Amino acid sequence: MEPHYNIYPLGDSALTIDFGNRIDEAINDQVLARFYDLQQNPLPAMIEAVPAYSSLTIFYDPYEIKKIIHSVSAFEWMKSQTKNWLNQSFPIGEKTNNLITIPVCYDDVYAPDLKHICQAKNISKEELINIHTGKTYRVYMLGFLPGFAYMGELDQAISFPRKQQPGITAAGSVGIAGKQTGIYPVQSPGGWQIIGRTPLKMFDPTKECPTLLKAGDEIRFKSISKHEFNHYPGGHS
């Protein structure tokens, strides 16, 4: 059975394969499986591939393509190569996702937006924390900042829109935006609602693998005290 997808150009040296344009674990499984296959078996003229929630972008070298063929555009040739690859039989392998526990301090000093969400949702701080820590989240993609993991899906009881006015957000801040939750790996402008902070380093450029999380990982949040946060081994905040 052929996968359902659309292919469209992204500038003059990339194309995007859209598998459904929605947050869906089965679609994300397919995106990641395809991504890892390209890591082992890159397409001709391919430079790199970048996975997202429900799409996969392939960057390519149009000059290399022009050395091969002149009758069609680089995009049309690359699109044809991509379609041939996509239409091959491609079983999704058994999941081997890592389960990672992230400690989070939900103390007011690290959670500037928590009270506002509780008031708007008419729930207690304890209820919000219990809901946020009470399920396993999937890392659908990394983006925006190095190591910023987009995770879902949040329980509807605590989902909340982004801020209308972004502000400076500290490294390690745990935020909510719609049905997503995420962690700021470095200090940055940001518009997510901040409900806590982790002492873990989410991004360390000195390491061989600089990001703590990767797409496909499964995450559990664990509530810790302010004292535990301040004395966490290897903490950065």
Q: Write the pLDDT tens digit of every residue in 116-175.
A: 999 999 999 999 999 999 999 999 989 888 889 999 889 999 999 999 888 999 999 999
pLDDT tens by residue, 3-17: 588 999 999 999 999
Confidence (pLDDT) at 68: 83
Sort residue 45 into left (φ over 0), alpha (ψ -120 to 50) or beta.
left
Q: How confident is the model at residue 93 (pLDDT cuts 50, 70, 90)?
A: low
pLDDT above 60 (res 87): yes
Query: Does the pLDDT at position 54 exceed 70?
Result: yes
Q: Is the pLDDT of residue 234 over 70?
A: no
Check: CB of residue 194 under 8 Å from CB of residue 119: no
What number of helices (H) and strands (E) belong to the chain? 6, 13
Does 198 score more than 50 pLDDT?
A: yes
Higher-confidence residue of 16 and 89: namely: 16
DSSP bridge partners of 142: 149
pTM of the predicted model, to two decimals? 0.79
What pLDDT, in 10s, does the model give residues 58-73? 999 999 998 888 788 9
